[in-house]
Structure 1
Amino acid sequence: MNIIITGVSGFIGENLSNYLVGCEYNPSRLSLRSNWKLANTSDAIIHLAGKAHDTENTSSDEEYFEVNTELTKKIFDEFLDSEISDFIYFSSVKATADTVEGILDEDHISNPQTPYGKSKLLAEQYLLSKDLHEGQRLFIIRPCMVHGPGNKGNLNLLYKVVEKGIPWPLAAFENERSFLSIDNLNFLILQILKDKNIQSGIYNFADDESISTNDLIEIIGKASGRKSKLWRLPSGMITAAAKLGDILKLPLNSERLKKLTESYQVSNEKIKNALRIKKLPVSAEEGLFKTIKSFKNT
């Protein structure tokens, strides 16, 4: 099966491409930085390229809409004029909700508040407004936070805290978060490509279990061979320090504090029901342990 992948140089694109090669598929790179054209001989296109959420808030709103919305429209229009069967668009759970009460599923009424989320949602709405040709399928994938060996970000920040023996000062914040290991993401995409009975639609991607940040700190301690230390400092004091970080451009700012301490649980029941499976191959704890181990090895 010939598969076009945009954004293949990113963390997800590189891992997914290598995984599909190992499964005897034939992924090809499509660079969108110059003149491009979809190959009609392809069976599917996986659109990963996009403008990621900038937690430092240095990007202009226009950048998000130019890349995440308008570029996606152009690629999808090309798809509709082609004989390619499947279009898999990587959106985000942030296209529907910045904060979550309870567990997020695909029936949630979307109301993103950031330019990133709004640009992703506008792209989704455009794709869903178009009629597919017979034999074509459209999958809008909304992954939560993706991680795996080689991936940096907030997990790496937490790892450095534990690895240096620094107590975790945010233990007073109780939360539950959903994560998505790259292994489970790869598995789900492969199943969609293989199973032609799966219907078009929006699908959340997440691991089966949610994990609290305090539990995550414990997992990091086990994976790094260091004893984790949890400090329950007053949450009001931490929130004030984060606001000061907004002004002074410190590592701990309000956006990062929110990411580290808020609850954000995502249901993956719809995609599992579509695939007729009960569990994903890798548990949330196993996936996180593997990712953290990779930090130690590098």
Structure 2
Amino acid sequence: MKNNLHIITGNKGFVGLNLTTYLSKANKPFIGVSRNPNDNEISYTSLSVEDFNTSKSCIHLAGKAHDLKKTSDDSEYYKVNTELTKSLFDQFLQSDCEIFIYMSSVKAAADEVVGVLTEEVIPNPVTVYGKSKLAAEEYILSKEIPTNKRVYILRPCMIHGPNNKGNLNLLYSFVAKGIPYPFGKYENKRSFVSVENLCFIINELIDNKKIKSGIYNIADDVSLSTTDLVRIIGKTINRPSKVLQIPKFMVSIIAKIGDVLPLPVNSERLQKLTENYEVSNEKIKKEIQKDLPLSTEEGIIKTIASF
């Protein structure tokens, strides 16, 4: 049926798998775009303007994630995160497709946050990952959007959900093994977004023509400290969560040793666990005018329960 399909790039990734399940339940047919397509998918090279003409939306999730081991070549980030996005967006503009949703990242705006991150911040990414995402954003924003089309740039913070462990896995292993969490001296606040809330928002963007085109931060309603997370994990798996108040200078020494030796903690991981990174979701909440399905704690509990 004309203009009934939803193109989803990166449909085999964590967000993609969750989104395709979510859209299926909402009776929204989709076509996956993949580098190695299965029977019900197409490749990027064979994707055409005609495919866009028969689609209502293109949800561009595919991208090269931040490589913590720093083994990736910088050009790879721009090839995948920037140039692929530009190519897809050009096809979208040439077609009858109505909606383009680009999955960017808060890291396109800032690697460190003072206060609370809003969409009004002047972007200043430090990593090549963030810079490549921002370059794609800037290309999209440089184009004139026809009045019959809607374009959304989403900047999610740390996404989690069932079977996606990420940094939560390290905290989980601390609690599950009865190892005390050693960073109790650090007081921080971090924003998270559950993949269910993210899928809910994408579905709203598809359905609600009143939501204005633009950049939107995506986060759950409440930020949590890492110590809060440790306690939620303990409660979820019914294990006591122990928090130690080790002096910060000692923790820093241990992390520096972890940069050289294979310890569970190194400098980068310490920063991720203890930094402040609060993200405002007020702009998108004002637009959708609905409550998110999951509270911050409910989302964390669902993720931890899947481990």
Fold shared, TM-score > 0.5 on shorter chain? yes
Per the alignment, residue 239 of structure 2 pairs with 226
Question: For residue 18 of structure 2, what is the amino acid of its counterpart?
Answer: N
Using the alignment, how far apart are the partners of 2:69 and 2:123 within structure 1? Answer: 24
What is the Cα deviation at residue 137 of structure 1? 1.1
Residues 54-93 of structure 1 aligned to structure 2 (within 5 Å): 54-93=67-106
Shift of 1:160: 1.0
Alignment-derived partner of residue 31 in structure 2:
28
DSSP 3-state at the match of 2:32: strand
Give yes or no for contact 1:223–1:292 (8 Å, CA) kept in 2.
yes
Of 179, 186, 197, 2:192 maps to 179
Q: CA deviation at 1:134?
A: 3.2
Who is 1:197 aligned against? 210
Give the one of 49, 56, 68 matched to 1:43.
56
TM-score norm. by structure 2 comes to: 0.93
Aligned to 1:9: 12
Counterpart-to-counterpart distance in 2, 1:68 and 1:224: 37
Identical positions, percent: 56
| Deviation (angstroms), 1:247 | 2.9
How far has the Cα of 1:253 moved from its partner? 1.8
* 2:182 alignment partner in structure 1: 169
Moved more, 222-231 or 28-37: 28-37
User: What code does the residue aligned with 2:46 have?
Assistant: W
Task: Find the counterpart in structure 1 of residue 230 from structure 2.
Answer: 217
CA deviations over 1:238-286 (Å, ceiling 9, x no partner): 1222222223354422211111110100000000111123x32211001
Quote the Cα distance in structure 2 between the aligned partners of 1:165 and 1:249: 20
What whole-Å deviation, never above 9, does each CA across 1:68-104 have from its counterpart, x for those lacking one? 1111111111111111100000000000000101110
Match of 2:306 in 1: 294
The 2-side partners of 1:249 and 1:229 are apart by 23
- TM-score of the superposition, structure 1-length normalised? 0.96
* TM-fit CA distance, 1:132: 1.8
For structure 1, list consecutive stretches of 5 or more residues without a partner in the other structure. Answer: none
In structure 2, distance between residues paired with 1:115 and 1:269 = 28
Aligned-partner residue type, residue 219 of structure 2: A
Aligned to 2:39: none
Name the CA distance, whole Å, in 2 between partners of 1:70 and 1:183.
Answer: 29
The 8 Å contact of residues 6 and 32 in structure 1, kept in 2 or not, is answered as no
Q: Trace 1:142-153 onto structure 2 (pairs within 5 A).
A: 142-153=155-166
What is the CA RMSD across the aligned residues, in angstroms?
1.2
Deviation of residue 145 (structure 1)?
0.5
Query: Once superposed, which parts of structure 1, at least 4 consecutive aligned residues long, lie more than 6 Å away?
Result: none
Task: Measure how far apart 1:10 and its partner are.
Answer: 0.5
The aligned residue for residue 114 of structure 1 is 127
Asked if 1:53 corresponds to 2:38, the answer is no
Number of residue-to-residue matches in the alignment:
294
CA distance in 2, matches of 1:125, 1:244: 40
Which structure 2 segments of 5+ residues have no match?
A: 37-42
1:281 to 293, 301, 307: 293
